[in-house]
Structure 1
Amino acid sequence: MKLGLHYWNYTTPREPELIAPTLARTAQIAEEAGVASFTVMDHFFQMDAVAKAEEPMLEAYTTLGYVAARTERMTLGVLVTGVMYRYPGLLAKTVTTLDVLSGGRARLGLGASWYEREQRGLGVPVVPVGERFERLEETLQICLQMWSDDNGPYRGKHYQLEETLCVPAPLRRPRPPIMIGGGGEKKTLLMVARYADSCNVFDIGVAEVGHKFDVLRAHCEAEGRDYDSIEKTVGMRQPALADVDAFLASVRAYAALGVTEIQVMADRHPVEFIEQIAERVLPGLAEIG
């Protein structure tokens, strides 16, 4: 079982000048401990469902570039990129840049986006949900084309590109892996079956996650896709350190469903959190296999 660290909070410590060194130290300890992936959110305001919107938030890909320069092995990605925040061709170029500068460690995480407060606040177009999913599918198609040998045009309903030129190409072969976040059964999981290398769902309970995977399996059968070729990952909302035994029991149950990576989020100072994860949780995950 692989472990991912999802870095979602820049409020601790309180001093803005300590954000960068804390981020760097946390990432370095995580990598030394064997954490497989390091992800950040794609938000510009903190999510007001969990904290005040006015709390610190950094732009995701700039942050990952900083982390890339201070690490060597961890996969780096956004969990997940909001489809409305960047033109698809520029997103493909951004992820390619991260991949080249990190030595082939980028992963494209993508989702339909949802946080309307920050979109309205910063002038990002707010469109109906159905259109967001249409744009999500076109974005996936454009990124795949830009990471192929086809440099020609792309003609979609929402996006038209005259040239899908991307030089240099990503170092990762055949391309950076694509992760789609979300558990929507009619659209999101269908796009996983059509385009993605991995899916990411929240830990909404073993039975419900199992149901989502059953839906994904059905989509794979309809699309002629090998279900087992898609990596299953779960973002854990269950605190990892409050009751380590209970946490590991949940992870074992998800492993039985075929999950191969979980992501955890700090509930305290991030350096202290990852040190405790390395000491108390990672040995148990290694035993799960």
Structure 2
Amino acid sequence: MYASVLLVGWGWTSEQYQKGWQEVEELGYHACYIGDDLFAHQADADVGTFEPWTMLGAMAATTSRMKIGSMVSPAGRRHPGLFAKITSTADQLSNGRLIVGMGAGNAPEQQKSLNQPFRKPLERVAMLSEELDILKSMWTEGRTDYVGEHYAIKGGICEPKPISNPHPEILLGVLGRAMIKVAGRHADRVNCLTADQDRVKIICEDIKKEALTNGRDPSAILFSRLATILFTDEVVTDTNRRGIIEARARKIGKDPEILRQEIEDHLVSYVGHPDRCAEWVRRSTSDIGINEIVICIDTVDTSSYEHTMAGLRTFARNVLPSL
């Protein structure tokens, strides 16, 4: 079982971000991921966000052991010919530790800010599929010629190649049937985008079947879940859960209703004492065939460096040894 971190870092300084990911590595986490957002989600729209692939280059150069990557870069954000160069460079800087996280979802307001259309889901999946074809060709071939419905490349060159053999790991965020088929062809890692335990198991099994259909070894695919972790000093029950969340919201200066919705609407979340978290992690991951939990402390848009790092230290101290 791997435990990794989604280090959001909205509102942080660049110095805090670097200190943060270096400590994530020191604490023993498997991987550190960065989200791919042009700006913060609506509730925190006034806080700053760094360009993720620039930051991943810095992360690559200032860490040495843990995997690094995006979670996830949306289809259509960057032309795949350019993205091949960006990711190859990051893989070189990391000495082959890069995970290229991609997905077919995106925030409509971020697309509109670039004057780009927010396409229907199946169109976005089709774009992603073409992007993956182009990336894998440019990562591994001398020159790439490609003509698709959404992209075209003529004599594309990507030198130097990535260090990873045969190419950087591809992580895909997956929920629907169309993405299951794409994952069966391309994914080395899959992040299951649902809180439903039974649905998670179905997604994993269906992707393994698709992998077999495509002549791939399904056992080589790593499956993960993204989880919000909110630690408390007291034992949490159905009776006191809401009050605990509202008290934490006031402590970190967030609207209580916004924090409650974020935690309850998130893919999967733990609210409770650190000593009981390892058992919850196992029930939510290894017991249903998941190999990696990716944690986000308190809520996906917290902007407190100190609070985030304190939570990551608590998880490393109280939970990691039991996984």
TM-score normalized with structure 2 length: 0.80
SS in 2 for 1:109: strand
Following superposition, the deviation at residue 178 of structure 1 comes to 0.5
Q: Name which of 60, 65, 88 aligns with 1:96.
A: 88
1:277 aligns with 2:268: no
Partner amino acid, structure 2, of 1:243: H
Amino acid at match of 1:87: H
Per-residue CA deviations over 1:40-96 (Å, capped at 9, x if unaligned) read 111112122xx3323221111011122222211111111011111100111111111
| Secondary structure of residue in 2 paired with 1:187 | helix
SS in 2 for 1:25: helix
Residues 1:47 and 2:41 aligned together: yes
Contact 2:190 2:223 (8 Å CA) reproduced: yes
CA contact (8 A) 2:32 2:69 kept: yes
Aligned residues: 276
Helix, strand or coil at the partner of 2:4 = strand
1:173 paired residue among 165, 170, 173: 165
Of 224, 237, 255, the residue aligned with 1:233 is: 224
Q: How does 1:102-181 map to 2 (within 5 A)?
A: 102-181=94-173
Q: Within 1, Cα distance between the matches of 2:94 and 2:67? A: 9
241-250 or 197-206, which deviates more: 241-250
- Provide the C-alpha distance between the structure 2 equivalents of 1:86 and 1:98, rounded to a whole number of angstroms: 15
Deviation at residue 203 of structure 1 after TM alignment: 5.7
Alignment correspondent of 1:26 = 20
Cα 1:148/1:167, change in 2 over 3 Å:
same
How far does residue 257 in structure 1 lie from its aligned partner after superposition?
A: 2.7
Residue identity over aligned pairs, in percent, reads 29
Cα distance in structure 2, aligned partners of 1:189 and 1:128: 17
User: Which consecutive residues of structure 2, in runs of 5 or more, have no partner in the other structure?
Assistant: 233-271, 299-303
How far residue 150 of structure 1 moved from its aligned partner, in angstroms, is 4.4
Once the 2 structures are TM-superposed, how far is the Cα of residue 226 of structure 1 from its aligned partner? 2.5
1:71-130: per-residue Cα shift (whole Å, max 9, x none)? 111111110111111001111111111111122211111101320111112323322222
Counterpart Cα distance in 1 of 2:105 and 2:154: 26
Task: Indicate the residue corresponding to 2:10 in structure 1.
Answer: 10
Q: Deviations over 1:232-279 (max 9, x none)?
A: 111113536633344322321221333221100122622222222221
1:264: which partner in 2?
A: 295
Partner of 1:213: 204
1:38 to 29, 32, 36: 32
1:250 to 1:211, Cα distance in 2 relative to 1, 3 A:
farther
Q: For residue 244 of structure 1, what is the aligned residue in structure 2? A: 274
Q: Secondary structure in 2 aligned to 1:259?
A: coil
Counterparts in 2 of 1:211 and 1:237: CA distance versus 1, 3 Å: farther
What secondary structure, in the 3-state scheme, does the structure 2 residue paired with 1:247 have? helix
Task: State the distance in 2 between where 1:116 and 1:202 align.
Answer: 18
Counterpart AA for 2:318: R
Q: Distance in 2 between matches of 1:122 and 1:246?
A: 44
- Structure 1 segments, 4+ long, off by >4 Å, are none
Report the RMSD for the aligned CA atoms in angstroms: 1.9
Where do 1:182-221 residues align within 5 Å? 182-184=174-176, 186-202=177-193, 204-221=195-212
Q: Is the 8 A contact 1:76 1:106 kept in 2?
A: yes
Tell me which amino acid in the other structure corresponds to 1:37: A
